[in-house]
Amino acid sequence: MEQLLPDKIRKQIIIMQKGEITEHFVYKNIAKRVKNPQNKAILEQISNDELGHYELWTSFLKIPAKPCRWKIMGYGIISLFLGYTFTLKIMERGEERAQINYDEISKYVPDAKRIALDEDAHEKELINLLDEERLNYVGSMVLGLNDALVELTGALAGLTFAITDTRLISLSGLITGIAASFSMAASEYLSAKADGRKDAFKSAIYTGIAYIITVAILIMPYLLIQNNRFLALGIMLTSVVLIIFFFNYYISVAKDLNFKKRFFQMIIISLGVAALSFLIGTVVKIVLGIDI
């Protein structure tokens, strides 16, 4: 039967076979690190499903396949830093692109349809059952990140026009940012406590950490470039755009949300506040005649 396969179809099956065994090990390795019993069981089930798909392709081709080691390693590293939900959904998107082959393959291998249904519905359903802690605190992270971006972008923009010394700008921004991060974390704690949430402290920690990391990134250009405050401002604003892009991309993938809408909302708010602060800083400097 295999001899009747067109070369194009055979090559596609080999790609699928290699993909299944690779993904089997990705799920298996991530499952080893997961402590939550329910999440571990889900990941192990998907891993076994992928192994079953691989064995089906192998029984048809009569040739084993080696997994792609660099993909296994790469997805493992991504999962360590960005979490396994994000990692698996990124991998799932790759599978969706590959599924254009299934209809063509099923003309020669009827079981391809069953595998396609497993990948399209069953695995997605299982992945959506995952309950990763960090994603439960997305609201807290958004609060800290967004507040830091809006407040500190505006403050640094205003200070850049009002003060010529980048050391003073960075010092003022750092003090403002650290104080605001503690204030925001405390506010989140009190708000969560008032709502009767048992995780109020953890929610406050996520808010505070998101705020402090954002502060560090935005202040860095002023610490590194001390002879050109406007260049530091430009790099800081570029950092704002990149932070908003990557954070919203992460959330849109992990939580299946609309990326463009959230991205442009945050961009307009953050850069709008920065533009207004430019104006205020210039007016204050001219009116008060202060040149620091």
31 shares its domain with 162: no
93 shares its domain with 144: no
pLDDT tens digits for 95-135? 555 555 667 777 777 777 777 766 666 566 666 666 666 66
Query: What is the enclosing helix (H) or strand (E) of 192?
Result: helix 166-194
189 shares its domain with 110: no
Q: Choose the final residue of a domain: 80, 114, 131.
A: 131
152 shares its domain with 275: yes
pLDDT tens digits for 170-202? 888 888 888 888 888 888 788 777 877 777 888
213 shares its domain with 95: no
Torsion of CA 169, 170, 176, 181, to 10 degrees: 150
Range of the domain at 19: 2-131
123 shares its domain with 228: no
178 shares its domain with 35: no
Q: For residue 135, which of 64, 220, 206 has the smallest C-alpha distance?
A: 206
pLDDT tens digits for 204-247? 888 888 888 888 888 998 888 878 888 988 898 888 888 888 88
Specify the number of domains making up the chain: 2
40 shares its domain with 113: yes
- CATH code assigned at 56: 1.20.1260
284 shares its domain with 145: yes
Cβ-contact 47, 24 below 8 angstroms? yes
Rounded Cα gap, residues 193 and 289, in angstroms:
46
Rounded Cα gap, residues 129 and 15, in angstroms:
28
180 shares its domain with 223: yes
